[in-house]
Amino acid sequence: MLSYDEKQDVSPLASPGSDINSKFKREIQEICGENVMSCYQCGECTAGCPAAFGMDISPNQVMRMAQLGMKDDVLASKSIWLCAGCETCATRCPRGVALSRVMDACRQIAMKEGKAAKESNVLTFHKEFLRQVQIHGRAHEVGLMALYKTRTRDFFSDVLSGVQMFLKGKLGLIPSRVKGRAEVRKMFGK
């Protein structure tokens, strides 16, 4: 991974007067350790991303805009909230960049700065997911979906796929708990 270079803090490609935030890439690197300047825009991440079809900015464009310091545009995008954190991009990147971590850092910055998620339901899902992990050490899918649906008042979408998953034994009614839940809680405390 290339180290962060202060001299590259303002991209020569940013047009004069454009709304850039020259510290954005450093903020990202401080949170997740990834240097967005390592990306050379091959597009491998986007080609393999299972969520790219629903994004308003493709994953490689998120990287490019982060390089250019287009913080407001990145934080206002749907893409950072639709990223499922599957890490396909990280395994495909020839530059060894974990774009999944960059997406996560952008979500953290957006939440810290009180930027509303364009996909408000996705934010609710993230919060419920983390709450489940905090309680059980892992997500309990049925509990997660019940809470999510109650909070979003979206009771009927995905019902059929939920029933199919239940019939195939993929959904347990009783939450399973992992060992080391105390350690997980400590991590949340930090």
Using CB under 6 A, count the residues that bind ligand SF4: 27
**CB of 36 closer than 8 Å to CB of 63:** yes
Of the listed pieces 16-24, 59-67, 111-119, 144-152, which binds ligand SF4 according to CB under 6 A? Answer: 59-67
Contacts of 126 (CB under 8 A, 6+ apart): 81, 107
Closer to ligand SF4 by Cβ: residue 81 or 148: 81
Report the residue from 19, 30, 33, 42 that binds ligand SF4 according to the rule CB under 6 A.
Answer: 42
Closer to ligand SF4 by Cβ: residue 37 or 143: 37
**Closest separation in Å from C-beta 131 to ligand SF4:** 21
Does position 105 bind ligand SF4 by CB under 6 A?
no
**CB of 173 closer than 8 Å to CB of 142:** yes
Q: Within a 10 A sphere around the Cβ of 80, how many other Cβ atoms?
A: 27
Does position 85 bind ligand SF4 by CB under 6 A?
yes
Report the residue from 1, 5, 19, 41 that binds ligand SF4 according to the rule CB under 6 A.
Answer: 41
Report the residue from 66, 99, 109, 144 that binds ligand SF4 according to the rule CB under 6 A.
Answer: 99
Closer to ligand SF4 by Cβ: residue 92 or 118: 92
Report the residue from 49, 57, 65, 133 that binds ligand SF4 according to the rule CB under 6 A.
Answer: 49
Q: Within a 10 A sphere around the Cβ of 179, how many other Cβ atoms?
A: 8
Task: List the beta strands (DSSP E) in the chain.
Answer: none
Contacts of 171 (CB under 8 A, 6+ apart): 141, 142, 162, 165
Q: Which residue has the tokens 């892992």?
A: 138
Q: Provide the b/e sequence for 145-161 (b: ≥16 CB within 10 Å).
A: bebbbeeeeeeeeeeee
Closer to ligand SF4 by Cβ: residue 62 or 144: 62
Binding site for ligand SF4 (CB under 6 A): 39-45, 49-51, 59-60, 63, 83-89, 92-93, 95, 97, 99-100, 103
